[in-house]
Amino acid sequence: MASKAQRTPTGLKIAANLFVVVWLILAAFPFLWTFWGSFKVELDFFSIADWTNALTGKNTEATYGRPFTGAGYHGAWVQEEFWRAVINTFIVCFFVVLTSLTIGTLGGYALSRSGFRYTFWLLIIALIFRAMPPITLVAGYLLPFFEWNLWGILPTTIIVLVAINQPFTLWMLHSFFQNIPKELDESAKVDGCTQFQAFRHVIVPVMWPGVITTGLFSFLLAYNDFAVTSMLLSESNRTMVPEIAAFLGTTYTEGNVMFAVAAVVSATAPLFVLVMFFQRQIVSGLTAGAVKG
Amino acid sequence: MAEIRLSGVSKRWGSFIGVDKFDLTIPDREFLVLLGPSGCGKTTTMRMIAGLEDPTEGEILIDGKVVNDLEPKDRDVAMVFQSYALYPNMNVYENIRFPLRVRGSDPATHKEKVMRASAMVELDDFLHRKPAELSGGQRQRVALARAIVREPNVFLMDEPLSNLDAKLRVSTRAQIKNLSHELAVTTIYVTHDQIEAMTLADRVVVMEKGVVQQVGSPTEIYDRPANTFVASFIGNPAMNLMKGEVAGGTFRAPHTEIAGLSIGDGPVTLGFRAEDAEVAGEGGQITAPIYTLELLGDATMVSVRIGGALVSAKADKSFRAEIGDMVSIRIPAQICHLFDAETGARIGD
């Protein structure tokens, strides 16, 4: 039984729960609204006459005979071939995560184990580059990319995203590595490992939650990026986010906006799955080092 | 089979001297203890032998071979770390097996070797647990088992007992002593605890500020400290040290007069051990008011103040007096150690 001091007054309990519920609705509302609206026609979801049309689907019913329609999805995925953008996004994300994690783990490990003073300045410089708005870098990239004929293709975008991403992964992984005692490397080395074997057999397994967390963050950065992908990719190579922006840009054809809405829902869904799947690692990664292991 | 030789080994970081010109030969199968306060360079010395730190100068030889440029893994040493450094993602069995695995020894022999090592430290029942599920003493024993499993040439232990509580420390200490006797491997053991040094060592190296102060058997170091630092570091309580003047073979300090010393006139530091002195009603060499009285159970420690220093003598356990009572302490000349007042070095035999 909880002691008297630990027991929360019923009023406070209700208030706290109520607050959580209200907050949850507020936070989830844009997603829920978009999800609901994605099954409507444009005249309902963007109704000027009566906003409740978005809920009831009056015009959708008039057009398709049902209050829900998959027309937006059909338009986006089949007519506009949104799946190409999905594939492009996953190619970009995969290689961005792979490259930045490889460089990040090796670099972060090296920096965390290095006794030299310049490591500090390297990290500070990395932080400065991280603080820069990506768009300022893109402006500088554009001209050489045009001249060298590298503009518009996925590899270029991947390299640029890695470059923008790398300071962050380096920082994050560096701090994870710093929480791992040096004795662990040393013990592995005395036990018979080379430096790299110590890294692979001993450090990386301990680091796993940190690698997953960092990987997820850099995945999200690549997945959500607009500034770089919209400037550097040709129309046929677009990833999801600039593709959605392009749908929105063609509002003079009725219904195209609904392609964007459907595409937004399509782009958000995988993120939910991803975060749910990795949530345990993420939580342990975010709190790693908070308590002595 | 390994003799370790350090010749002129130094370690410097910029202008800071970690270890200064360390010369020592450690014969095969010796249990050597490096003893000193923290920051004295004892751990650095051990880390240089392990290959985790490069000496700035000098040579380290294992079995007559210079190992300065060898990686730790090629030196055939095993090390027990102060923090145990167990691999948290592996269970006890895998932890102990790790050195065998990475060295690529025949997998068929692993199980037997791990079982033998774990039996030696009584860990048989815990082989499937993760390090996080073990107590401090058990973790310590896993670290020991991991070190012995491969039967290395040299055993290095860096304060292996300092993270254990007092009771466990005593039993693990006994276990280490027994283990080293059974394995008969050259062992270097780092500690700041003089009792560990006294109980475990064949030979003790006392270090301070990177410099070797004295090398000798525990008895030598206890009975004939080479200087005031060793005298004040070894023994519990540490040796009493008094500053005073000798004139005509008699040492004089406040409340103190010790005759019969065979030494020239001049200032000296005189030391004696509390257990060698005798507390008497009168007629002793020190006569002073009692500063404090401590009951130890098996004895009573009587302390007086001489100059600025606290001087203690061990009295019988039935000795009773009040603070402030006059007491007389007998310090015959033969129990006295004399040290140079300036350098602190031992004078005479």
A260, two tokens: 């964007």
Q: Residue B326 and residue B288: Cα distance in Å, rounded?
A: 5
CB contacts, 8 Å: B77 with chain A: 190
Q: What percent of chain B has pLDDT over 90?
A: 57
Question: pLDDT for A218-235, tens place per residue?
Answer: 998 899 998 889 888 888
Q: Work out the number of other CB atoms within 10 angstroms of the CB of residue B207.
A: 26
CB A214 within 8 A of CB A101: yes
Q: What percent of chain B has pLDDT over 70?
A: 99
CB contacts, 8 Å: A117 with chain B: none
Q: What is the DSSP letter of A150?
A: -
Looking at the domain assignment, is residue A65 inside a domain? no
Q: Is A191 on the interface with B (CB under 8 A)?
A: yes
Are the beta carbons of B89 and A206 separated by less than 8 Å? yes
Q: Residue B46 and residue B61: Cα distance in Å, rounded?
A: 13
Segment among A129-133, B118-122, B207-211, B249-253 with least mean pLDDT: A129-133
Q: Which residue of A has its CA nearest to B147?
A: A191
Would you say residue B194 has pLDDT above 50?
yes
CB A221 within 8 A of CB A233: no
Question: pLDDT for A158-187, tens place per residue?
Answer: 999 998 888 889 988 988 888 888 889 999
Looking at the domain assignment, is residue A188 inside a domain? yes
Would you say residue A135 has pLDDT above 90?
no
CATH number at residue A173: 1.10.3720.10
Q: What average pLDDT is seen over chain A?
A: 85
pLDDT of residue A98: 95
Question: pLDDT for B110-143, tens place per residue?
Answer: 999 999 999 888 888 899 999 888 888 899 899 9
Section A117-145 average pLDDT: 84
Question: pLDDT for A28-87, tens place per residue?
Answer: 998 888 998 889 888 888 888 888 888 888 888 888 888 888 888 988 888 888 899 999
Give the nearest partner residue to B88 out of A188, A201, A206, using CB atoms. A206
B51, two tokens: 């290959």
Q: Residue B19 and residue B38: Cα distance in Å, rounded?
A: 13
Are the beta carbons of A190 and B78 separated by less than 8 Å? yes
CB contacts, 8 Å: B83 with chain A: 181, 183
Q: Which residue of A has its CA nearest to B131?
A: A293
Looking at the domain assignment, is residue A36 inside a domain? no
Would you say residue A291 has pLDDT above 50?
no
Q: What is the DSSP letter of B159?
A: S
Residue A287's pLDDT band (boundaries 50, 70, 90)? low
Interface test with A, best of B75, B79, B100 (most A CBs within 10 A): B79
Are the beta carbons of B71 and A197 separated by less than 8 Å? no
ipTM of the complex: 0.83
Looking at the domain assignment, is residue A111 inside a domain? yes
Which three-class secondary structure string do you get for B276-329?
CCEEECCCCCEEEEEEEEEECCCCEEEEEEECCEEEEEEECCCCCCCCCCEEEE
Inter-axis angle of helices A82-113 and A118-131, nearest 10:
160
Q: Is A207 on the interface with B (CB under 8 A)?
A: no
Give the nearest partner residue to B98 out of A186, A191, A206, using CB atoms. A191
Total-model pTM: 0.79
Q: Which domain holds residue A230?
A: 87-239+276-286
CB B172 within 8 A of CB B137: yes
Question: pLDDT for A88-101, tens place per residue?
Answer: 999 999 999 999 99
Are the beta carbons of B81 and A187 separated by less than 8 Å? yes
Question: pLDDT for A102-116, tens place per residue?
Answer: 999 999 999 888 877
Q: Residue B228 and residue B339: Cα distance in Å, rounded?
A: 7
Q: Give residue A150's Cα distance to chain centre.
A: 25
Residue A255's pLDDT band (boundaries 50, 70, 90)? low
B49, two tokens: 């032998």
Interface test with B, best of A179, A180, A187, A208 (most B CBs within 10 A): A187
Would you say residue A288 has pLDDT above 60?
no
Q: Give residue A74's Cα distance to chain centre.
A: 25
Q: Is A184 on the interface with B (CB under 8 A)?
A: yes
Backbone angles phi, psi at B26, to 5 degrees: -110, 110
Q: Is A193 on the interface with B (CB under 8 A)?
A: yes
Q: Which residue of B has its CA nearest to A198?
A: B102
Counted domains in chain A: 1
Question: pLDDT for B88-106, tens place per residue?
Answer: 889 999 999 999 999 988 8
User: How many Cα atoms within 13 Å fall on the side-chain side of residue A61?
Assistant: 7
Inter-axis angle of helices A204-224 and A240-249, nearest 10:
20
Q: Residue B324 and residue B46: Cα distance in Å, rounded?
A: 48
Are the beta carbons of A201 and B102 separated by less than 8 Å? yes
pLDDT of residue B337: 92
Looking at the domain assignment, is residue A97 inside a domain? yes
Structural domains of chain B ordered from first start: 4-232 (3.40.50.300), 238-347 (2.40.50.140)
Q: Is A115 on the interface with B (CB under 8 A)?
A: no
Looking at the domain assignment, is residue A281 inside a domain? yes
Residues paired with B339 in a beta bridge: B269, B346
The C-alpha of A102 sits at a distance from chain B's nearest C-alpha, in angstroms, of: 21
